[in-house]
Amino acid sequence: MLLRPKMQIKKITDITVEILKDNNIKALILDSDNTLITLDKEPLEGIKEWINKIKQSGIKICIASNSIKHKKVEKVAKYLEIPYTYFSIKPTKLGLKRAKKILQVENNENIAEIGDQLFTDVLGANRMKMFSILTEPISEEKVKLNNLKRKLEKKILKKQAKK
């Protein structure tokens, strides 16, 4: 079930250190667009505080964005004071492997990948046998292609919920 997220939440800040520790998570790989920042590049409310709490718990963090805009991803990473990689090409393993190298965590099952898209974040994480966490996108989609993709995502998630 490569398209089934291990966990589904509303927004990333809903995840607690306890939830992560209960699932043996030692490191996080975070999507950026619509997970940490809105499409207007505004950071999610409370995200800085949440990141600091995770850091204090000893859990490592790295951004792996699919964006090809280096400066944009760098700006988010600098604001949150965490390492990053961009142009990750999720759901391929490329960027996730790069992020894993930065995190220096040996076992993939100890890494959670958190993002808002089934076909990039969840699929990529599951292919890597990482712990996949799906959030709802934090801002409304403006692109038509994405809307189509969202509809398909909803359909799949609904089907999975029935099982």
Contact positions toward Mg ion, by CB under 5 A?
A: 31, 33-34, 116
Question: Looking at beta carbons only, is 33 or 113 nearer to Mg ion?
Answer: 33
Task: Please give the order of strands across the beta sheet that includes 111-115.
Answer: 7-8, 131-134, 111-115, 27-30, 60-64, 84-85
Reduced to 3 states (helix: H, G, I; strand: E, B; else coil), residue 59 is: coil
Number of alpha carbons in the 13 Å side-chain half-sphere of residue 22 = 6
- Adjacent-strand bridge partners of 63: 30, 84
What is the nearest approach in angstroms of Mg ion to the Cβ of residue 78?
19
Question: Looking at beta carbons only, is 31 or 113 nearer to Mg ion?
Answer: 31
What is the nearest approach in angstroms of Mg ion to the Cβ of residue 86?
12
> How far is 32 from 98, CA to CA, in rounded Å?
16
Question: Looking at beta carbons only, is 14 or 58 nearer to Mg ion?
Answer: 14
> How far is 156 from 51, CA to CA, in rounded Å?
30
What is the nearest approach in angstroms of Mg ion to the Cβ of residue 5?
14
Question: Looking at beta carbons only, is 31 or 153 nearer to Mg ion?
Answer: 31
What is the nearest approach in angstroms of Mg ion to the Cβ of residue 111?
18
